[in-house]
């Protein structure tokens, strides 16, 4: 098959999804050349789908050579990281650095402060693949806290994270990172690459679910007072707010947010931002 020559880029994004809606504008503003893939090749992207069971290098020859290859979709278990990097390097050589986006959900081994050097679930399928990437090509992993921005609004997630008062009672600490700051983190990591390193990326705050739920309830009341918003959604948020008020009385919580020592696992993301010489722009959940 005739190979089409594609110009090299600074960053190749494998999997242009939600993150790319924030990343591409930032790359353009910073004059960083880039290319993106999707499974369909829509919106000017390159059609590409990684098959973890295939050894065919041809799909990789249609990708550009890149200084940084960013994987946004999850790789899982043993072998996938080795395969995708080996096939890409077979097509484009070894002068590239690799970055994987992951989740902070693997850091579930402690009940207090957790930084990038804390224990994590090494049996988790995504963590296994991330560790393999770190080992086989000195890849860098960014474990991201709860993603929000654009259409992702935490105030709309209540029915997903809890269905009852008992569920709400189990909610303790939660962490977030805005899409704009994910993009800034990726650009910073591209420029200040730390081979083989795993980082926690959050907005440097610990949020209390009780506090957030009560805030969301108050916003729903304000929207109704001004004749706006979805009545059914607002009623749902008020119901959750009522549960939090009842739980505060039952548990003797005088004010929100609750004390850090009762919030369970808390993420410390200072290490990443300090190493990159940057700080989040969205330093508080709106």
Assess whether pLDDT exceeds 70 at residue 22: yes
Q: What are phi and psi of 115, to 5 degrees?
A: -115, -170
Residues 6+ apart with CB under 8 A from 129: 74, 75, 76, 77, 78, 80, 81, 100
Of 17, 12, 197, the closest CA to residue 91 belongs to 12
- Confidence category of residue 31, pLDDT binned at 50, 70, 90: very high
Contact in structure between 195 and 138 (CB atoms under 8 Å): yes
Which spans in the chain are helix H? 18-29, 58-61, 80-92, 125-136, 158-161, 165-169, 179-191, 209-225, 231-251, 270-276
Residues 6+ apart with CB under 8 A from 150: 18, 21, 22, 179
Structure tokens belonging to residue 155: 């105030």
The H or E element that residue 80 is part of is helix 80-92
Distance of alpha carbon 253 from alpha carbon 125, whole angstroms: 38
The H or E element that residue 222 is part of is helix 209-225
Residue scoring higher pLDDT (222 or 183)? 183
Q: What is the pLDDT of residue 2?
A: 38
- Confidence category of residue 53, pLDDT binned at 50, 70, 90: very high
Predicted confidence (pLDDT) per residue in 144-164, tens digit? 999 999 999 999 999 999 999
Q: What is the pLDDT of residue 96?
A: 98
279 preceded by cis ω (within 30°)?
Answer: no
Other Cβ atoms less than 10 A from the Cβ of 204: the count is 17
- Per the prediction, the chain carries an average pLDDT of 93
Distance of alpha carbon 140 from alpha carbon 70, whole angstroms: 10
Q: What is the pLDDT of residue 101?
A: 98
Other Cβ atoms less than 10 A from the Cβ of 266: the count is 21
Assess whether pLDDT exceeds 60 at residue 212: yes
* Angle value at C-alpha 191, between 185 and 195, nearest 5 degrees: 90
Other Cβ atoms less than 10 A from the Cβ of 202: the count is 25
Taking residues 88-94, report their average pLDDT: 98
Q: Kind of pairing, strands 173-174 and 207-208?
A: antiparallel
Predicted confidence (pLDDT) per residue in 218-245, tens digit? 765 544 444 455 567 778 888 999 999 9
Q: What is the pLDDT of residue 230?
A: 56
Structure tokens belonging to residue 271: 């290490």
Distance of alpha carbon 92 from alpha carbon 255, whole angstroms: 58
Q: What are phi and psi of 22, to 5 degrees?
A: -100, -35
Assess whether pLDDT exceeds 70 at residue 254: yes
Contact in structure between 74 and 44 (CB atoms under 8 Å): no
| Length reported for the chain | 286
- Confidence category of residue 76, pLDDT binned at 50, 70, 90: very high
Assess whether pLDDT exceeds 70 at residue 74: yes
Residues 6+ apart with CB under 8 A from 249: none
Contact in structure between 277 and 191 (CB atoms under 8 Å): no
Other Cβ atoms less than 10 A from the Cβ of 184: the count is 24
According to CATH, the topology of domain 9-152+175-205+266-276 is Rossmann fold (3.40.50)
Question: Which residue's structure tokens are 């080992």?
Answer: 135
Taking residues 263-271, report their average pLDDT: 97
């Amino acid at each position: 098959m005739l190979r089409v020559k594609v110009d090299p880029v600074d960053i190749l994004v494998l999997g242009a999804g939600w993150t790319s809606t924030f990343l591409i504008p930032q790359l353009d503003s910073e004059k960083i050349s880039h290319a993106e893939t999707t499974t369909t090749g829509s919106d000017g992207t390159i059609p590409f789908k990684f098959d973890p069971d295939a050894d065919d290098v041809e799909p990789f020859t249609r990708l550009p050579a890149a200084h940084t290859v960013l994987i946004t979709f999850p790789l899982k278990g043993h072998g996938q990281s080795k395969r995708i990097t080996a096939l890409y390097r077979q097509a484009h050589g070894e002068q590239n650095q690799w970055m994987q986006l992951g989740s902070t959900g693997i850091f579930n081994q402690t009940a207090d402060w957790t930084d990038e050097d804390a224990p994590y679930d090494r049996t988790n399928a995504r963590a296994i693949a991330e560790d393999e990437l770190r080992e086989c090509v000195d890849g860098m992993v960014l474990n991201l806290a709860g993603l929000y921005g654009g259409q992702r609004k935490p105030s709309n997630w209540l029915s997903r994270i809890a269905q009852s008062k008992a569920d709400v009672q189990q909610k303790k600490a939660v962490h977030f990172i805005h899409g704009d700051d994910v993009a800034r983190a990726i650009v910073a990591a591209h420029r200040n690459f730390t081979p083989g390193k795993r980082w926690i990326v959050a907005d440097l705050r610990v949020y209390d679910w009780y506090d957030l739920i009560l805030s969301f309830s108050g916003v729903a009341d304000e929207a109704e007072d001004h004749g706006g918003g979805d009545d059914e959604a607002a009623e749902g948020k008020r119901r959750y707010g009522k549960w939090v008020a009842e739980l505060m009385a039952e548990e003797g919580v005088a004010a929100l947010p609750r004390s850090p020592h009762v919030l369970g696992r808390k993420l410390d993301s200072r290490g990443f931002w300090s190493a990159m010489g940057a700080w989040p722009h969205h330093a508080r959940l709106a």
